Structure formats: structure tokens, C-alpha cells
Amino acid sequence: MIRCDLPGSFARSVFHERHPELVRRVLAALPYGPGERAAVERLLAESTGGLLEPLPAHAHDAARWLEWGEGRWGRPWGELPFLWAESYFYRRLLEATGYFGAGAWQGVDPFGPFKAAELAGAAVDEELAALDDPDGSAPQALLGSALWGNRADLSFGMTAAPGAGSGAGGLLVDQSALFWGELARADGGRVCVVADNAGRELLPDLVLIDHLLGTGGAARVLLYVKPQPYFVSDATMADVLASVERLRAAHPVGERLWRAMGDGTLVVRTHPFFCAPLPFHELPADLRAEFAGAAMTIVKGDLNYRRLVGDRYWPPSTPFAEAAGHFPSAVTALRTLKSEVVVGVDDATVGRLDSSDPAWRTSGRHAVVQVSVSGRGRPRSAG
């Protein structure tokens, strides 16, 4: 299990380097008052050197978090599992900024200014212009755009080294033929997409969804987003609407997606579980049943990968199907590597990368397309 306190670890750097920078930017981006500012600073101090405090009793999800954190309250943050601690940090940040409060900051996304700037940026213009390029709109190119779009993660951008995430580091595992083969085999079933970041990642995800619906690769797509702001740029429903609007202004694909939402072939869903500090092994029964009926579930990004396989120091050669085989449908991970977890990469590749590029697990320059069909056709009641 990856913990937060290992000296020199990526997890420790997230709390001690990334979060202070994140807090600085959030407080610079919105004119929060003294109360919110002090609460955010207190959270930073608590999470970098203090003891874990629960949510205030009046919080709508206080009981749920009390249960998730049983045995952990009052312990040092550094002892916590990394995934649990990060998830709780983002929940507490929303508490500190008044996102769930009764006051005027209710519902104000603390990361909204960053997301809006990205969506309005020139890089998005260029990417949208490429939609008219026949090479850029071939199926494999669309899958590649959705994959590499995962580099555009605004939390990663907080402390990434210059040039990190840019340039073609390489696809370490490419099972895209299996992905397309599975879709062809299912012949127009339901595809679930567990979204990750808004903006430059969600736009190519939506274009891929349009392609799947337009070509019969999927009869229906369920797109799962976060119920609240999370990990800086993770997509919420508001971000889906902003992206569809952006696409509508630029290309017919936007209008098609709008219509698909209207006729129910593209359904956007959310669930509290997507902001829970839990791995996908602990899917609640309702979500498990939804995924179980899918021809394929596409799981986007680094954090979802950590939740899919388990946030552990796996031997990298552990087969992906072994780590992700618990998932209730066939599942494809589209992930650029931005944390230490990795499976399904052979020892020779790991040895080569360890000596040539020591930061390969976290730099965002490498990616995987990994498929497990273990959950294919699993009955809805499974698990």
C-alpha cells in the first residue's frame, strides 16, 4: 500500500510540494475572504504535519467520512494511505472554501478559473482544428488523443518539471487492437466511460464518444463524471456542458453530442463513489450493476488507474488482467503514467526505463492502453 510519508517518494512530494502550490494558486485565483483563507491555510498545515481531523458534524457527508476514516482520526496524515489522504484533502478543501456551506461561496468551484482558462486557450483551438484532418480523425488517432489528453491534468501541472508530460515518451503497452476487437465483437453494446480531467482531456474523450456512437461501436454511452470538484481538473457535469458548448462553437461534433444527450444515447452520470477514498474493488452495488451490463468500460487517467488496480507498489510485471480482473465488465485503461503504480509492464522494459529515465513512472511522458476482458459477460449480480 502506498503511504504518504516515505521520504523521497512521489506521494510525499504531492503533499509537501504540490499541495502548497495548489493552495497558493487557489487563494490567488479567487477573492476568498479571511475565513476561507484561514481555513485553507489550516488545512495545509494539518495535512503536511498535523493530525487527521474529521469533517464538521453538520457536513452532509460527515457520517460517511467518519466511517471511511474509522481508526484513522487523530493519527498523523503521513501514516495514511496515499489515495485515501489525497481524496480527503480535496474534500476538506471544498469544506474550507465554503463549497458545501450555506454562504455565498456555495457551489463555487475553487478550480473553476484554471479550468476556464484552459478551455479558452489557444491549445484547445489547435486541437479542435485538427478534427478536420482526416488523419487526425481516424479511429486509432481518436483513441490516441483521448489517451494523451490525460497529460493535460492541472494538478500534475502544479509542480511538473519543465517539459514533463510533453514529447512522445512512448506507449509502454498498446492493447488497442484488443479494445477495438472487443467493441466489434459486442456489436453495438453499451460503453461506459469513467472520465478524468475536464478541458483538454474531456474534449478528445467526447470526440471519441461521438465516433463510437456514429460508427455503431457503441449503441449507447454512459459517461461518468465527478459529483464535485476534485483533484483540481477532474470533470464535473458543469465541465461537460462547457466542453460540449466549446465543441458546438467549433465543429459539428458538438451538435451531434448535444443531440445524443437529448435522445439518451449519451447519458452523463455521477455518483458519490467517484470522490470516495476507495478502490474500484469496493464498487457499490448500484454502480457494479451498471458496469456489469457494459460491453466495455473505458477508465481514464492516473487516479482511476490507481483505483482500478489498487494503489500499491505492485511488481510491474503483474498481469493487468490479474490486477483489474475484478472489474465487472471488460475494461480498458487509457492512462499516462503520473504516479508510482504500474502493472502489465515486462521486466526488460522496466529495467531499461529505470536506467535511462528514472522518472518514467511519474513524468507523464509514458502511457499504457491496457485491456482486461476477465469481466466480460459477468452476470449483473456478480460481487
Ligand X SMILES: O=P(O)(O)OC[C@@]1(O)O[C@H](CO)[C@@H](O)[C@@H]1O
Least distance in angstroms from the C-beta of 56 to ligand X: 25
| C-beta closer to ligand X: residue 151 or 256 | 151
CB of 46 to ligand X, least distance (A): 18
In which element (H, E) is residue 269 found?
strand 266-270
* Residue 47 vs 98, nearer CB to ligand X: 47
Interface contacts to ligand X, rule CB under 6 A: 14, 86, 150, 153, 155-156, 196-197, 231, 301-303, 306, 338-339
Q: Locate all alpha helices (DSSP H) within 136-192, ordered by sequence.
A: 139-148, 156-159, 176-186
Cβ nearer to ligand X, comparing 190 with 338: 338
Pairing state between β 296-300 and 266-270? unpaired
Q: What DSSP line would sit under 73-133, residue for residue?
A: TTSBGGGSBHHHHHHHHHHHHHHHTTTTSSSTTTT--TTHHHHHHHHTSHHHHHHHHGGGS
Q: Which is nearer to ligand X, 295 or 302 (CB)?
A: 302
Minimum CB–partner distance for residue 275 and ligand X (Å): 13
- Toward ligand X, which CB reaches closer, 365 or 378? 365
The least CB distance from residue 355 to ligand X, in Å, is 23
Helix and strand numbers, DSSP H then E, in the chain = 17, 7
Question: Is 190 or 306 the residue whose CB approaches ligand X more closely?
Answer: 306
Min CB(82)–ligand X separation in Å = 8
Shortest CB 197 distance to ligand X, Å? 5
Q: How far apart are CA 109 and CA 337, in angstroms?
A: 26
Nearer to ligand X, 124 or 154 (CB): 154
Which residues are CB-contacts of 284 (< 8 A; sequence separation ≥ 6)?
A: 271, 273
CA-CA distance, 286 to 348, in Å (whole number)? 41
The C-alpha cell that represents 259 in the structure block: 443531440
Phi, psi angle pair for 268, to nearest 5°: -95, 130
From the CB of 213, what's the least distance to ligand X, in Å?
24
